[in-house]
Amino acid sequence: MNEEQDVTQGATVPAAIRRGTPEFLRANIAFFLSAFSVFASLYSVQPLLPMFAQYWVRDAGTASLALSATTATMALALIPASLLADRLGRRRLIVGALLITAILGMLLPFTQVWWQLITLRTLMGLTLAGIPAVAMVYLSEEMAPEALGYSMGLYIGGTAIGGMAGRVISGVLSDFLGWRLGTGILAGLILIAAIAVAILLPRPRRFVRDPIGLAELWRRCRAGFDDAALPWLFASAFLLMGGFVTLYNYAGFRLALPPFMLSHSAIATIFLVYLLGSVSSTWAGELSQRLGRRKVFWALVALMGTGMAVTMFDNTVIVILGLAIATMGFFAAHGVASAWVTRRARIGKAQASAIYLVAYYLGASILGTLGGYAWTAWAWPGVMLVSGGAAALALLVAMRLVFVPPLPTPEHPPGPAAGA
């Protein structure tokens, strides 16, 4: 018996999940844990990059492959994962992907050479793709319109806290117990989270099983580029994520050098500013519901760029302040853009969300690695050339989106929250 509750064509669509119901609480906890697990796994190696550069490889660009290999394979697997989700069902794919990710994470401490670690990290990218490819579509299908902004913001907040926890756990423990134990403990936590998601996540009630062939998949992917706003949102994903990952990839390298001279554990604790990303994404989701996405998105991108500029100072407190501002701006902008994609996509929501995330993770892979070579050549000004340049281009894209007309037919009752 299928665990997904299909809605057949022409049948009455079950009621959406509304705020204040037990299903709303269970779904939000489950997706928060899913987002936490994905990004804790993904970014656990980021504070370890200087250590990898010192002991296994010789330069920052090559060391960054421990992260870039994972984000690259995530990008390549997202559209196939969205297709698989339409065949297997949203819930089954999410739970299975989390369990396999935890198992691969438990193998990381046993790697002995660089290529073994990169191989496992590459495979993790394939499994991790199952969650973000489906999460936003599940929420847009199952949540009532007035609850979507909050739920999407909370999911993005989970990505922020997960990214923070992965970095802090691995970074702090690597200083005292070694990176192998740190990554092993983290994998155990992800396994516990996967079990909790399997228990809590409600079975979809509004999901229509829609197995499609390659021709139909291509048609749905092309539909995303026929919309006036979606291509610009895809571009913003590439630039925002690319700039943000570049900033954090090499902040650890910089802060370990004079005049900062911070330890690995001290650098890892700086990632606690990710908590601000959790708060800002939820707040921005509700703000965009009230004021409209066009009025909010460009200001959040500008906030991220401002934070990046602040990191140019050679003062530890000011650098941390800049990272905090950039983090708030990034997660808030990403939360708004994510919800905007699912609203604009009238054909192939799963594919539109997948394309957005393909651009998102390709930005992390390409600009993140490019930033490593910029760091080697020009130190922090080189990193700012990549990450700051990406933020500036993202701001131009956001300003262009201000002038994109709303959809002719709102997908929910009109009001200030509309403006898809």
Label residue 211 by pLDDT band (50, 70, 90): low
Of 357, 352, 167, 415, give the one whose Cα is nearest residue 275: 167
**Is the pLDDT higher at 67 or at 157?**
67
Label residue 16 by pLDDT band (50, 70, 90): confident
pLDDT of residue 2: 47
pLDDT of residue 251: 95
pLDDT of residue 230: 96
Alpha-carbon distance 125 to 87, whole Å? Answer: 21
Q: Taking 70 as the threshold, does the pLDDT of residue 293 lie above it?
A: yes
Q: How far does Cα 250 stand from its chain's mean position?
A: 19
Residue 90 resides in a domain: yes
Per residue in 221-243, pLDDT (tens digit) is 898 899 999 999 999 999 999 99
Q: Taking 80 as the threshold, does the pLDDT of residue 278 lie above it?
A: no
Label residue 1 by pLDDT band (50, 70, 90): very low
Per residue in 42-81, pLDDT (tens digit) is 999 999 998 888 878 778 888 999 999 999 999 999 888 8
Amino acid at 402: V
Which of 181-185, 203-207, 282-286, 388-392 has maximum average pLDDT?
A: 388-392
Per residue in 76-107, pLDDT (tens digit) is 998 888 778 777 778 889 999 999 999 999 99
Of 333, 345, 352, 348, give the one whose Cα is nearest residue 394: 333
Residue 217 resides in a domain: no
Q: Taking 80 as the threshold, does the pLDDT of residue 171 lie above it?
A: yes
pLDDT of residue 419: 41
Residue position matching structure tokens 């299903």: 23
- CATH code of the domain containing 344: 1.20.1250.20
Alpha-carbon distance 245 to 248, whole Å? Answer: 5
Least confident of 4-18, 39-53, 296-310, 364-378: 4-18
Question: What is the percent of the chain with per-residue pLDDT over 90, rounded to a whole number?
Answer: 52
pLDDT of residue 79: 84
Full DSSP string of 234-260: HHHHHHHHHHHHHHHHHHHHHHTSTTT
pLDDT of residue 11: 54
Q: Which domain holds residue 37?
A: 22-202+224-402
Residue 214 resides in a domain: no
Residue 328 resides in a domain: yes
Q: How many structural domains comprise the chain?
A: 1
Of 201, 189, 145, 198, give the one whose Cα is nearest residue 28: 201
Question: What is the percent of the chain with per-residue pLDDT over 70, rounded to a whole number?
Answer: 92
pLDDT of residue 210: 63
pLDDT of residue 402: 95
pLDDT of residue 379: 96
Average pLDDT over residues 150-159: 83
Average pLDDT over residues 207-212: 66
Burial class (CB in 10 A: 0-12, 13-18, 19+), 231: middle
Label residue 339 by pLDDT band (50, 70, 90): confident
Q: Taking 60 as the threshold, does the pLDDT of residue 138 lie above it?
A: yes
Per residue in 361-376, pLDDT (tens digit) is 999 999 999 999 999 9
Residue 37 resides in a domain: yes
Of 77, 117, 107, give the one whose Cα is nearest residue 93: 77
Under 8 Å between Cβ of 303 and 324: no
Residue 12 resides in a domain: no
Alpha-carbon distance 250 to 71, whole Å? Answer: 16
Which of 144-153, 173-182, 360-369, 405-414 has maximum average pLDDT?
A: 360-369
For all residues of the chain together, what is the average pLDDT? 87
Residue 419 resides in a domain: no
Residue 216 resides in a domain: no
